[in-house]
Amino acid sequence: MTRVPPPDAADRPHTAITAETDLILASGSTIRQTLLRNAGLTIAIHPAPVDEDAIKRAHGTPDVTADHTDRLALTLAHAKAAAIAARHPDALTIGCDQILRCGQTLFDKPRSRAEARTHLDMLRGHAHQLHTAIVLHHGPDILWQHVERPTLHMRDVSAAFLDAYCEMEGETMLTTVGAYRLEGPGIQLFERIDGDHTAILGLPLLPLLGILRTIGKLPR
């Protein structure tokens, strides 16, 4: 698990930010919304309209090192936060992104059930990392950024198990980068998981709550 430290801006006071400052999640992810609301936060939901494929192409050579993958995840998270923060300059905007890396391959969300099955066949019996980036913007200002890399060890599951799993999950497999939901039957795919559970779900919650306390959005 690796953390990317926040920029220096996170250490400076932001007097315009109060407990009443609106908090926006620039994502339509149901699990991210649930994590924040279960933590007692009041949030508005504004999914960011960004062209992720174009951003990935502009990012340059598809280097599959861990550091490059961190930077790509941060670039995508910043693009999402910036798109929404421009429309709501007085609010705090959370941007998130998650990239799955297994060996020398980066995985996007599967586009079909057949592709999801192919991804699972590639992942079974191997460890992979989820590069989970989260950023916080206040209007044009980048207040904070953070990346974690939880590692998940998938069992060498049988073909029969995968057939049953894919039938059970159906189109739900297309909603996550790994074609699995740890909060659902996907947990049966794994023999060991290293790292923060909320980071695996797509939003490292404790570091976010920490920065919200630092800047005065949450009480200390």
- The structural domains of the chain, with segments of one domain joined by +, span 8-107+127-150+196-214
**pLDDT tens for residues 52-101?**
878 887 876 566 899 999 999 999 999 999 999 999 999 999 999 999 99
- 123: confidence class by pLDDT, cuts 50, 70, 90: very high
C-alpha 104/C-alpha 117 separation (Å) is 19
In the predicted structure, residue 14 carries a pLDDT above the cut 70 = no
C-alpha 131/C-alpha 73 separation (Å) is 7
- 9: confidence class by pLDDT, cuts 50, 70, 90: very low
Closest by CA position to 175, among listed 72, 122, 98, 76: 98
Q: Among the options 11, 22, 97, 196, which is catalytic?
A: 97
- Assess contact for 46 and 24: CB atoms under 8 A: yes
What percentage of the chain carries pLDDT values higher than 70?
91
**pLDDT tens for residues 133-157?**
999 999 999 999 999 999 999 999 9
**pLDDT tens for residues 186-196?**
999 999 999 99
In the predicted structure, residue 107 carries a pLDDT above the cut 70 = yes
Per-position b or e across 21-35, b if 16+ CB within 10 A of its CB: bebbbbbebebbbeb
In the predicted structure, residue 11 carries a pLDDT above the cut 50 = no
CATH topology for 8-107+127-150+196-214 is: Maf protein (3.90.950)
Per-position b or e across 73-93, b if 16+ CB within 10 A of its CB: bbbbbbbbbbbbbeebeebbb
Average pLDDT for the chain: 91
- Assess contact for 149 and 66: CB atoms under 8 A: yes
pLDDT value of position 53: 79
Instruction: Verify whether residue 97 is a known catalytic residue.
Output: yes
pLDDT value of position 61: 58
- Kindly state the helix (H) or strand (E) to which residue 69 belongs, with its residue range: helix 66-85
In the predicted structure, residue 40 carries a pLDDT above the cut 90 = yes
